[in-house]
Amino acid sequence: MSASRKGNRRERELVNALDEAGFAVMRAPASGAATDRELPDVLAGNGDDFYAIEAKSSSGRPIYLEGEEVEALVYFARNFGAKPRIAVRFDREDWYFFHPGDLYTTDKGSYRVKKETALAEGTDFDELVGDTERTSIGDFDG
């Protein structure tokens, strides 16, 4: 399966999951290819939270995003009144979400997410949609 077909399928999976979680959601057609404007892959809102999402998937290799791509997402989200999020999905894993400011920046100005980083530090789907809240051992008095 081509990378673009796989990416499109993953974006549709994300749209369907957000819809099932009670969000009004839409996928931008061709996200940038159909227009001169840089658009996020997915827009989602539930009346309380509004997200502009750039979605990326990988078989397991690190995911890289160009600096301009992330800057365009942040710009659009700010103007739209949404929270910018980078959604990453590695094969046989769930979706994980990052604020662009939390991504690792390479020396060349691009952004990188490794699978290990996504699993350890990313916001999982349930937390994004408000079904759960992340806690750590330090959150409990003992």
- Which residues belong to the annotated binding site for Mg(2+)? 11, 41, 54
DSSP string, 31-80: TTTSSSS---SEEEE-SS-EEEEEEEEESSSPEEE-HHHHHHHHHHHHHH
State yes or no: is 31 an active-site residue: yes
Q: Which residues are annotated as a binding site?
A: 11, 41, 54
Number of neighbours of residue 19 by Cβ within 10 angstroms: 13
Which of 2, 4, 31, 59 does the annotation list as catalytic?
31
**Residues with active-site annotation:** 31
